[in-house]
Structure 1
């Protein structure tokens, strides 16, 4: 790819990043570092949702090379090549609309990469000057490394022609990047407004274990959901709660869950048969029962703790909405808007489960220190 094209793409990334950076700089919030973290978390959420839209509209190969589009910085310049590909295969992966969808997704990703670099440089600079906890550079540096890995998987998504395992990992890394930003944002929040100790610290230990379990099962379910989406198995079961009229339909787990293979193919190079798609869909659908039980229990337990009540309530509502969109996707034959909402719901659950884990961890630490402080105060009056 020409150096001029790379330069134009870099300028586009800077332009996209300059808009939220300017908004943060001009905001009335005195803590602009914290503001930037939460703006980045919001944009990463948006990128995940737009990535789902890109995948669900079959636009992942709208530009079949990387990082540009037919070697150009935008589809305007590559209009001739795109038009030729579209004329040769009108319903194929390359069209003018799909090219723009794919490139907008890339521009947003580049902008977030620039924002993470800005956050890292600011954290390092402020840490050297002040050594304040708010600017500890470990997490911003980890975010930078992580976004570079995510960028590599974004490139492989295209160069390996939407290989399901690569696309699924790309989705998981996006969710984990969102979780890291939310964790950092919660850290900044707690430095500004610390949590008051709980009156029942013993119950928090069980809730912390439950919150960690909720995070684990949610990651597994998102991986399964990504596997459904990347293998185009969403409508392999077109009714609910049965699948093809049966509780346990005919399934091919061996080929359905072979990880390293091309899209629509088995590892041996044969076409993937329908029972394999049924197995993929059926596992995701039934694992959702376990996810509902674990996250529902975690939400109920959090609801009992005053400092966590709002998070627990939001988690319960998000879980119900996610169940509704999941079932509606099947009932309404996979409408695009509901499918995108279902992917957005998964990102919302990631945000809330991350918040719950951070708050429980912090609340437990604060509450465990309370008895020692109280005993010391009581002894001083004896």
Structure 2
């Protein structure tokens, strides 16, 4: 169905937007374009050099996502009336995200606005994945039977999945605070904060960094438990079992990247 393909395309474009957006702050390009609009130094398509390449590239990618979202909202309104509200919610999310980006530039990177910008972007991406799932072609009788059996099989695993989702969101919040409050390189020891073995120095910003590290371990444990629960109970859905096996691997890779960032002092290109 067209709306399903459009939702998947919007989700893919948003994933690319998140990747591009992740290069803006670490490369020091957040204010490379002084205008809080789609233009950069008075041009819609300025020379893409230096920080402009990252910042204006991010804006152009965001404009593309916005256009896709407008089309998706229209399609949901016309073809899937039961999802009309979801379409308007997604469109509102894109508008709010653009407004936060503009405020970030207008007021020179206030940490609380930048943090909200990151969290809303991740939430919008997750909502698009949900939309793609909801707009999939109508399942066959066999698939409906499998879905019913899966619902019965999962049982308590659903609770662990929900806990893992909340834990990941909290870790995103902590990570955003670490980045936008300048705490990425305040602890250069591993695993302790300082190279002298001090775990909890007196500076609050170092405490924030260590809380982010510690909660990363919590996320890893919770995700692993959730994955085990899904693997034990979801015998009717192989794709879900694959995702369950992939989740702890991705968390481990994220932790490894964080460790590598500290050990190599490479916050700008990798964080």
**Kept after mapping to 2: 8 A contact 1:54/1:102:** yes
- Is 2:45 the counterpart of 1:74? yes
**Cα offset, 1:280, TM superposition:** 2.3
2:121 to 171, 174, 179: 174
What is the Cα deviation at residue 202 of structure 1?
5.8
Contact 1:167-1:230 within 8 A present in 2 as well: yes
Question: Could you tell me whether the CA contact under 8 Å between 1:296 and 1:319 is conserved in 2?
Answer: no
**Which residue number in structure 1 is paired with residue 161 of structure 2?**
211
Aligned residues: 262
How far off its partner does 1:72 sit? 3.1
Of the two, which has the highest radius of gyration? 1
For 2:2, the equivalent position in structure 1 comes to 32
1:178 offset after TM fit, Å? 0.3
Match of 1:291 among 212, 219, 237: 219
Q: For 1:151 and 1:335, how far apart are their aligned partners in 2? A: 26
In the TM superposition, what whole-angstrom CA distance separates every residue of 1:201-259 from its partner, at most 9, and x where no partner exists?
Answer: 56623211111111111111001101111122211111211111235231333xxxxxx
Q: Tell me the residue number matched to 2:191.
A: 241
Q: CA deviation at 1:122?
A: 1.6
Rounded to whole Å, the distance in 2 between the matches of 1:156 and 1:191 is 42
Structure 1 gap ranges (5+): 1-30, 80-95, 254-275, 340-382
Say what the alpha-carbon RMSD is for the aligned residues: 2.1
8 A Cα contact 2:26 2:270, kept in partner: no
Confirm whether residue 280 of structure 1 aligns to residue 208 of structure 2.
Answer: yes
1:247–1:200 CA distance, 2 compared to 1 (3 A): farther
Residue in 2 that maps onto 1:98: 51
Q: 1:143 to 1:317 in 2, by over 3 A?
A: same
Q: Deviations over 1:132-153 (max 9, x none)?
A: x5xx212111100111111110
1:45 and 1:185 map into 2 onto residues whose CA distance is 14
- Unpaired stretches in structure 2, ≥5 consecutive residues: none
CA distance in 1 between counterparts of 2:187 and 2:12 reads 33
Q: 1:318: which partner in 2?
A: 250
Q: Deviations over 1:13-53 (max 9, x none)?
A: xxxxxxxxxxxxxxxxxx23211111111111111111110
Please say if residues 235 and 330 of structure 1, whose CA atoms lie closer than 8 Å, have aligned partners that are also in contact.
Answer: yes
Task: Decide which moves more: 172-181 or 279-288.
Answer: 279-288
CA distance in 2 between counterparts of 1:71 and 1:192 reads 50
- Give the C-alpha shift of residue 101 in structure 1: 1.6
CA distance in 1 between partners of 2:172 and 2:138 (Å): 31
For 2:60 and 2:150, the matched residues in 1 are separated by 48
